[in-house]
Each structure stands twice: as structure tokens, then as C-alpha cells.
Structure 1
Amino acid sequence: MTRSRLFTLLQHSTCLLCLCLLGLCSINVSAQLKFRIEGHIDNTHAKPSKNDVGDSDIIVLNFGNLVRKDTVRIHNNAFHMEGEIPYPSSAFIEYKYGGNLILLDSSSYLFTLVKKDIDSTHATYEQEIKTKSTFHNTWEKFYDNKAKLVQERNQLNEAAQHTTNPDSALYYAFAIKAANKKIVAFYHQFAADHPNSYIAAYILVGAPDFSYANYMDVYSSFSDNIKNSYYGKNFYSRMIASKDDKKEEQAKTEIAQTAPGMFPVTNTIDTALNKIVLDKDFFSKHKYTLIEFWASWCGPCRKLNENLKKMTASFKEKDVELVGFSLDQGSEAWKIAMINDKLPWLQVSDLKAVDSPLAQYLKLGVIPANVLVDREGKIVRTNIYEGELEGFLKGVN
């Protein structure tokens, strides 16, 4: 056995051990799925630049459901990756300017990056994945069809905003309601068409009506293997998080009543499921607290976390507490991303994703985003990054 092959086996064994410690490995590891990725970079359609993706650059396969990162270097504008996974898995193929989601099973994948000029001074890389993977192609087809339904609904919303006729406004109100019901029905039909499947467990947590009441029957139909996988655990934790609607409405009401400019009292949990309340008592322990909003599925957020790690000594020296607030839908993806990225600061979440009352109160349209809070719980800055953040830290006495 070669030294590199031995290292690969040891690396995968270590990843499996991490999963078991997290309680995420209740899978029959003897039935491994083998995937293969062939990558190609085409820089011939645009002007050459020293910043081109090319030889010696690193490609990272960053798994979303496993504590694992595979890496390879580009050689002759190509790369090759292969490996084994315990069950169908999601990952990001990351390169220095971006990334692309890929769903892996026992299949081969052709991944291409083609550089295209935007104008005389700017270029971009277009990505494409070709595969016969049922897992990947079912997901891609689902979101293509969903996008059409969402576009129809958004067109109705836009038309409704521009009408002044009462009858037209009433028509659009009914039409929008019907369009939303159509999207919900689309998810339910997908559940019916893909019973007891990993792809259903992966996709359905994004349903607009996802809740314990609406999807417990779907969860109950999953096999033990699916229930004990990342997807099953994530599915279950999302249902539990949405189970108590009264508490959720109470939280929304309390946040809505917060005085302008103040950080609302927010009930969260950490990755060990301990209750953490973000309130005046919490903020009073430090000069400032920087709340960084991120999610496991947000590539730019993950890269930003790497930059923040380099600043941890400065935060500590200036008595600035750094807190990560995850906008993930379930605890499993959040835990795995935190372990993969080796984040040393406090991590909290309300597991509400984009429906988080806090995210809505702060009107977070995109992430990464952050707020800087003083001892009194007052929001003093928003979206403070890079040079602005460094300048602020230097000015803290």
C-alpha cells in the first residue's frame, strides 16, 4: 500500500470517528458508495490574467453532511477526485473564486469551469456539472421546476405592487395565495413521488409549510438508515424546532416591540443545545459584541469565517466578543460546518433559517452580515468588515 493511499484511509477513518462522536454515523459503513469527479478548466474564451484559475491552484470538496474535506491541486488545467461515502452526500466544489453544489452517489461527474469575459476589464467563471447521478439530477430538476413556480408568484407580487385598481388588487391577492399553495403542493407531490428516499429527506426541509404537523408522516416513513443519517437527523431537528408555534409567535411579538436601535432579546441554543439568551445581561460582559450571521450553505460566509479566525487575538485584546449566529434550518449542518471550519468562538442559532424573527427584525437580505452591539444592548454598527472592522478595533480603548 502506498503512503498516500494509507493517508487517505487514515483521513477517512478520522472523519468517521468525528461523525460517531457527533452521533451522526449510525450507518452501515460496509456499504460504501464510490464517486468520481473529473474537472476541467477552460481559460481560452477570455483574456489571460495572472488571477486565472489554473495549475497548482487547490480544489476543495467541502462536504455538507460529513466532517470531511477532500483537496486536490489542478494540473494541466484538470483535476481528478474520487472517494467513498456512506450514503448519498452533498458537497461544494470550491475554487478560489467560488464554488458549486454537487450531490454525490455512486456516479461519475464531469465538472467544467469556463472563463468568460463580462466586459473589457472583467471576467467570470461559468460552471457546469454533467452526470447520470439520480441524486444530483433529481435535485436539479426539482429546483428548476420550483424556480418556474416562484417566478410566476413573483410576477404576480410585482404586478400587485403596481396596481391602483381595487378589483385588480383583490384579484392579485387571490392569485398570489393560489401561487403559494401551488408551491406547497409541489413539495407534497415530490414527497409522494419519492417515498423513503435520501433525496426527499434532503429537499423537503425547505418546504414553505415544513412543520412537525405537516411532515411527521413523511419522517415516519423513512427507513432507519435514512433517519440515522445526516438528512434524517436534520429533518427531525427542523420539525422539533417548528413544533411550538405559540412560542414562535410570542418571540416575534417580543422582537417587534423592541425599541428602535436596540438588539432584541433573543432565545437561542448553542451546538450542545444549551439555552443562550442574547439580552442586556449577555452584552454587559464585554465592551462590544459582534454578532456574525452565517450558514453552512453560504460559501462567502465560510470564507469570511477563515478571515475572522485570523482576528481572534485582536477581538480578545479589545474585549470584543465574537458570536456566530447560524441561519441554518437544522442543527446537523450547522454542527458539521463548525467542526469542518474549526471555529473557536461561541455559536448560537434559533434554527429558524430565513424565518428567524431576529433576521426579519434586522431585515437581513443577504449573508454574511453582522451587527456590533455595545454593553447596553444598543446596535452601534452594521455590516462592518475588512478595513472598517480593523479600523474600529484599533480605536477601541
Structure 2
Amino acid sequence: MKYLYKKQILLFLLVCSITAAAQEVNLKGKILGLKADKISLIRLNGKNLYEDTISVKNGEFYWSEHIKSPQKAMLRLPDYGFVFYIEPGNIDVGGDVATNNYWVTGSTTDDQGKAFYSSLKKLTVKQDDLLTQLEKKAFKERAPIRVNLLAIKKEINEKEHLFLRSNPAPVLALSLIETKGVLEGYDAGMELFNDLSDSLKQSEEGKALAANFEVLKKSRLGSELPDFVQNSLNGKPVKFTSFRGSYLFIDFWASWCVACRAENPNVLSAYKRFKNKKFDVIGVSIDDNVEDWKRALTQDQMPWVMVSDLKGHQNEIAQYFGIVGVPSTLLIDPNGKIIARNLTGKSLTLKLEEIFEESR
């Protein structure tokens, strides 16, 4: 699956296929400005990932299948993709390529999920505003803003707990929990996991989610980074322990990942600013084609160390940490301990300013 539009889109995790009689889902769509003659529908059924090719004529398409329960799906267009939930019955998809505006009707599960995330919108907008303010303030003036950010995070967390205790569709509950774990870490995810009913915890999907969290535990804050070794583009082995004594930013990315390539200028800016203060970067590519990897390095002009085993999503280091989507990052302290995860955009610069106690 070689497209990453937003990290949230590719958090295609472990969703449900609770035992039931299979029923037909009929998906009908019309998207203005869609020129492609084929698009893809990616969906998860328990542990299995399916990708179906759908024919398109004049922006209109149709797809049907028999499913036993609601499933998480992504409609993948040539330059965009969006996530929604399918269930037995008739579902309509509409949209406009020019505005990147898409909508779904006919899925109660999708309506339930959208209603929950809409209830968080005011908080997430306020959170973004505070992060912008934080970036503009001098380091010594940031404490009150950080207090407000923690309060918002707590309120969002409380709403997530209430949602899970309201007995939502299992597919929504499991998706929320795994997304939380991937974005915020093992402890945050397990806190929500404990809200699940015993029957859902003991289901095949619940057990698989718990197993995934055991892998995620390896990137828990305070964990020590193993002594990984991977080759650079010129074939030279790079030992990760050779960076001990400096703060090390590990950036999991790929040449085909749109979001990763958009993030590279932010990493470059941080690298130039802090490289003389015992800060370094290693890029871990999950490419499987050396020419694509080489071309991206040239185009994006990334001067830091780059490694890959060219095994794609089976990259040894990504597999060890259970990386399911890129971009994904880890920040390691001079003693080799993990101190932050998934720092992107302004959050990386803010964290480094906090470490080195400086501001612009």
C-alpha cells in the first residue's frame, strides 16, 4: 500500500469481524472532477487486509460485497484517500476533487464515528492555536500555555473514555484505541484498552490488539534503544550506538510517502539549527527500491545519515517497534533512552527548544 496522505488515514489497524451471517453492502459513489478510470477500496476484515479495484466512469462507481459486520475502509483516489466505515446495506459516497471534500451517507457506524470526532473539534482547534502561540513565545514564557495544553489533553482523554464506555460499535472502539497507542504510545493506548468489555478483550480482535500493544511497548518512553545496525546508501554499516552522547532523532519514512516528503523540510530546519548542540538525525527508509530511495535523497537534499535494509514494510527496525505507518519518529537521549515519539512539524522544534532551553 504505497500511499500515505495523512498519518491518520494509514492507521489501518485491527478492526472487527464479529461472527454473524454475511450480508450485502452496496456502495455507490459519484465524485465531481474524478478523472481516473479506476480507484481502490482498502478494507480490514479482522486480521486480513483487502484491496479491491473499482471501475469508474464519469466520476461514478459501484462496489458490493458480503460482510458480516462493520469494517473500516479507505477509498483511495489518485491523489487522496479518505477513511470511513462500511456496514451491510446501501451506502452513498460523494465528493469534489477540486475542494477535497468528501462525504458518506447510509452507514450508521460511520455516522457514530464522525459524531464522536466532531465532538472533539473545538478542543483540537484550540490545541492547535495554543501550539502556534507556544511557538511564538520565548522559552521562559511558555509554562502557562503548556498548562493549558495539558488541560485540553486531559479533557480529550476523558471524552475518549466516555465514548468507549457508551458501548460504541466494536470496530470504532478498537480503531480509536489502536490509533491512540500508535500516536501517543503504549501507556495511553492501554489506558483506553482497559475500558473495553471483557468479551471484546477476549475476542480474536481484542487479543490481536493486546498483542500489538506488546510490540508497541518496546517504544515506551524510557525504553533503551537496541544496538541496531543497517547499511547506508553506499553500503556502509551504521551502528546506532555510535550516536550515544547526542540526542538522536530517528525518522521512519519512505520515498513514496507524500506526508514524509512534506515533513522533510521541517526536519532539515531543526537539523541545521541544532546540529552543533549534540543533536543528530538518522533516517530509516522503508523503501524496497534503491533507485527510488536514492532519487528522494537527492531531491530532498537530506544531509543526515540514511539507512535501510530495502525490505519495505518488513524493515527490521520498523518491525521491532511495530511501525504501521510513516512518517513515524523517535527521539533518543544521549544515554540511549527513548524520550519522545511522533514529533512532527512544530512539535519537533518545540521539544528541542525545551531540551536546549532556547527560543527563536
Q: TM-score range by the shorter chain?
A: 0.5 to 0.7
SS at match of 1:136: helix
Out of 105, 108, 127, the position equivalent to 1:153 is 127
Change (3 A) 1:136 1:126: same
SS at match of 2:319: strand
Letter paired with 1:350: F
| Structure 1 residue 189, shift from structure 2 partner | 1.2
Change (3 A) 1:74 1:152: same
| Structure 1 residue 28, shift from structure 2 partner | 6.4
Q: 1:306 and 1:60 mapped to 2: Cα distance?
A: 22
Q: Is the 8 A contact 2:93 2:102 kept in 1?
A: yes
| Structure 1 residue 79, shift from structure 2 partner | 0.9
Letter paired with 1:236: A
Out of 319, 322, 339, the position equivalent to 2:310 is 322
Per-residue CA deviation, residues 292-331 of structure 1 (Å, 9 max, x unaligned), is: 9359xx7878xxx99955959x99xxxx84144x6xxxxx
Q: Is the 8 A contact 2:43 2:50 kept in 1?
A: yes
Out of 185, 204, 210, the position equivalent to 1:228 is 204
Letter paired with 2:30: H
**What is residue 114 of structure 1 aligned with on the other side?**
96
SS at match of 1:194: coil
**What is residue 194 of structure 2 aligned with on the other side?**
217
**What is residue 329 of structure 1 aligned with on the other side?**
none
Change (3 A) 1:309 1:193: same
Change (3 A) 1:237 1:106: same
Change (3 A) 1:310 1:32: farther
Change (3 A) 1:108 1:27: closer
The two structures have a TM-score, normalised by structure 2, of: 0.58
Q: Does 1:67 align with 2:41?
A: no
Out of 325, 344, 352, the position equivalent to 1:365 is 344
**What is residue 177 of structure 1 aligned with on the other side?**
150
| Structure 1 residue 99, shift from structure 2 partner | 1.6
- Give the total of aligned pairs: 269
**What is residue 277 of structure 2 aligned with on the other side?**
none
- Give the gaps of 5 or more residues in structure 1: 1-23, 44-51, 117-124, 252-265, 268-276, 327-337, 339-344, 367-397
Q: 2:80 and 2:169 mapped to 1: Cα distance?
A: 33
**What is residue 113 of structure 2 aligned with on the other side?**
139
Q: 2:41 and 2:228 mapped to 1: Cα distance?
A: 35
**Residues 298-337 of structure 1 correspond to what in structure 2 (within 5 A)?**
308=288, 321-324=309-312
Q: Is the 8 A contact 1:37 1:110 kept in 2?
A: yes
Q: 1:25 and 1:202 mapped to 2: Cα distance?
A: 6
- Give the gaps of 5 or more residues in structure 2: 1-13, 239-249, 261-284, 296-307, 333-337, 346-360
Letter paired with 1:322: L
The two structures have a TM-score, normalised by structure 1, of: 0.54
Q: Is the 8 A contact 1:32 1:86 kept in 2?
A: yes
Q: 2:116 and 2:97 mapped to 1: Cα distance?
A: 28
Identity, in percent, stands at 17
Change (3 A) 1:169 1:146: same
**What is residue 293 of structure 1 aligned with on the other side?**
252
SS at match of 1:322: coil
**Residues 99-110 of structure 1 correspond to what in structure 2 (within 5 A)?**
99-110=81-92
Q: 2:21 and 2:236 mapped to 1: Cα distance?
A: 50
SS at match of 2:222: helix
Per-residue CA deviation, residues 48-69 of structure 1 (Å, 9 max, x unaligned), is: xxxx614xx1121112453311
Return the structure number with greater relative CO, CA threshold 8 A, min gap 6.
2
| Structure 1 residue 239, shift from structure 2 partner | 3.5
Q: 1:93 and 1:236 mapped to 2: Cα distance?
A: 27
Change (3 A) 1:234 1:286: farther
Q: Is the 8 A contact 2:16 2:170 kept in 1?
A: no
Change (3 A) 1:233 1:310: farther
**What is residue 58 of structure 1 aligned with on the other side?**
38
Change (3 A) 1:321 1:115: closer
State the Cα RMSD in Å: 4.6
Change (3 A) 1:135 1:363: closer
Letter paired with 2:252: F
**What is residue 21 of structure 2 aligned with on the other side?**
31
Q: 1:140 and 1:99 mapped to 2: Cα distance?
A: 16
Change (3 A) 1:77 1:147: same
Q: Does 1:237 align with 2:224?
A: no
Change (3 A) 1:197 1:222: farther
**What is residue 46 of structure 1 aligned with on the other side?**
none
Q: Does 1:93 align with 2:109?
A: no
Change (3 A) 1:129 1:222: farther
Q: Is the 8 A contact 1:111 1:129 kept in 2?
A: yes
